[in-house]
Amino acid sequence: MHFVLEALHKRPLESKSLAISRGATAILMACCFLAYIYSDRTLLLLSTYDIPSSGYVAPDIEMCVTGSDFSITACVLQDMDYNEHVIPGCTGFLNTGAQSTNSQYCYAFQGNDSKVMFGTGVSTGTESPSLVRRVDVYWAIHNLTGVAAQSLSEPNVAITTFSQEFSPWRITPDDMKALLPEQVNTWNSLQLQKHISTSPVNQSTMIYFEPSRYRALKRNALSVIGLNSTYYDIDSIITNQFAWNLNHLFPKYETYGNYQGQFGVALKTSNFQIQTEQRQHTLLSALALSGGAYGALTALYILLFGTPRLTPFGVSHNLSMWFYRGHTKLARNKKQDDSQDKPSGTVEEIHLVPSKHPLLESRVEELEMILREYFLNVEYLDALRLRREELLPVYQPPVAARDADVEPPRKSITGNDWRRST
């Protein structure tokens, strides 16, 4: 910031404590401004995404019973025309996996890696055979008495729907170690049974699910600058359920097997909500806030310590001077090394001519000092004057030229000789 550099510049007639306090205050203000950018609080941008006509991939449906093993007597895939396709024993879609323990038995319905898609809207007659409207699962517990003895409620099957990204039937321990903090939070919520449903015995349960996506912002340099933002997509499933008593008048055991309960899973909506993280503070937004937060800090600094010096010359002016100073310093050092090997000559005495108006000259010097130190930064002009003096040495005309009253040639800023044209 410009006023930080000016604050560190000690001016004449100022006490050392004032210069130190001004510099410390300016640095503190700059740190506050940078902390305002760094202390970013992520905002959430809500948007909706329409599920394409190809459908939404079937989630993994986990089914668990505590106290007894159970079996799936049948699965029914209902297409977009409400035609039922019965699969005895849910063959080809059931994963026994390794999720069962000594007291808990679990199975998972998996749609063969996206071969079962939940469709939206009405049937057009041209849908893919894998597009379904709902999936029904019929189940039977082997030992109802044992299950009832371990619970105060009636025997039931606990059902959890997982997106394929966070399904415990697909994720491995190595994948767990590579999860992002946002993904770990989603995983922990699922393990705490955030979206769990139940299918009690002798009841028909309908579970409607709605996809949800959280786009976590990658913390990289581009996102901090505000030029480009990349995300990690975290998908989850939100469910709600309704239950009815089974129709014992027409159980259809010959079609669905000797089941004890049934539940169905269907897509709830044709679009779902996306939550996208957005940085509140970036470097580009900080530039946009230069007339706000930066302006307030500058105004406070001016109120405390006055207006900084004007600097009408920028980096483009000073770059050439920095290069010239470095080049001149190297040349001067080389010249000094060469002169050490030569005998020193006589040194001419310089006689200062006393000023005819010492009071006026003193006032002009004071005015120049006040302007230089408090109002206008003329360091660039000083460097430019020094450069010109080095390029234009004092010219000593020969005697013949002085007698002939001929104007001697002078060096221009480019180093070439020139004469005034007549």
> What is the per-residue pLDDT across 77-86, written as a single tens digit (0 to 9) for each?
998 888 999 9
In a domain, 300, yes or no: yes
The token duo for 18 is 């004032």
Is residue 186 domain-shared with residue 164, that is, in the same domain? yes
The pairing of strands 271-278 and 203-217 is: parallel
257, 140 contact by CB (below 8 A)? yes
- CA 117 vs CA 17, 57, 125, 220: distances in Å: 75, 5, 16, 35
pLDDT tens per residue across span 42-91: 778 888 889 888 888 899 999 999 888 999 999 999 988 889 999 999 98
Residue-by-residue pLDDT tens, the chain, 422 positions? 455 666 776 766 667 777 788 788 888 877 877 776 666 667 788 888 898 888 888 999 999 998 889 999 999 999 888 899 999 999 888 888 665 666 889 999 988 665 788 988 766 555 566 789 999 999 999 999 888 888 888 899 999 988 888 788 888 878 877 777 777 887 777 777 777 899 999 999 999 999 988 888 777 666 666 666 778 888 888 899 999 999 888 889 999 999 999 999 999 988 888 888 877 766 666 666 656 666 777 777 777 767 666 665 556 556 666 666 666 666 666 566 555 555 554 444 445 555 566 777 777 777 777 677 666 666 766 776 777 776 665 555 555 555 555 555 544 444 444 444 44
Q: To the nearest 5 percent, what fractions of the chain are helix, strand and coil?
A: 35, 25, 40
Give the burial string for 296-329 (b: 16+ CB within 10 Å, else e): ebbeebeeebeebbebebeeeeeeebeeeeeeee
226, 283 contact by CB (below 8 A)? yes
Q: Which residues contact 48 (CB under 8 A, 6 or more apart)?
A: 271, 272, 273, 274
The pairing of strands 70-79 and 117-118 is: unpaired
215, 277 contact by CB (below 8 A)? yes
Please name every residue paired with 45 in a beta bridge, in sequence order, or none if there are none.
276
Is residue 285 domain-shared with residue 180, that is, in the same domain? no
What's the CA gap between 212 and 138, in Å, rounded?
A: 27
In a domain, 104, yes or no: yes
Is residue 298 domain-shared with residue 229, that is, in the same domain? no
What's the CA gap between 142 and 59, in Å, rounded?
A: 26
Is residue 76 domain-shared with residue 145, that is, in the same domain? yes
Is residue 171 domain-shared with residue 299, that is, in the same domain? no
In a domain, 332, yes or no: no
For residue 133, give the nearest of 84, 88, 93 by alpha carbon: 84
What's the CA gap between 133 and 115, in Å, rounded?
A: 14
In a domain, 342, yes or no: no
Residue 218 structural domain? 47-278
What's the CA gap between 48 and 272, in Å, rounded?
A: 6
What's the CA gap between 305 and 302, in Å, rounded?
A: 5
Is residue 59 domain-shared with residue 8, that is, in the same domain? no
In a domain, 351, yes or no: no
Tell me the pTM. 0.60
In a domain, 405, yes or no: no
Output the CA angle 322-327-333, nearest 5 degrees. Answer: 125
What's the CA gap between 157 and 160, in Å, rounded?
A: 10
Give the burial string for 266-279 (b: 16+ CB within 10 Å, else e): ebebeebebebbeb
In a domain, 343, yes or no: no
The label of the residue with tokens 């619970």 reads: 151
What's the CA gap between 13 and 362, in Å, rounded?
A: 16
211, 237 contact by CB (below 8 A)? yes
Is residue 34 domain-shared with residue 80, that is, in the same domain? no
Is residue 77 domain-shared with residue 88, that is, in the same domain? yes
Is residue 120 domain-shared with residue 256, that is, in the same domain? yes
The token duo for 352 is 């200062």
Is residue 65 domain-shared with residue 51, that is, in the same domain? yes
For residue 231, give the nearest of 219, 247, 240 by alpha carbon: 219
The label of the residue with tokens 């503070």 reads: 281
38, 340 contact by CB (below 8 A)? no
In a domain, 175, yes or no: yes
At position 263, the amino acid (one-letter code) is F
Is residue 54 domain-shared with residue 183, that is, in the same domain? yes
The count of structural domains within the chain is 3
What is the dihedral angle through the alpha carbons of 266, 78, 75, 52, rounded to the nearest 10 degrees? Answer: -50
Is residue 145 domain-shared with residue 253, that is, in the same domain? yes
Give the burial string for 5-21 (b: 16+ CB within 10 Å, else e): ebbeeeeeeeeeeebee
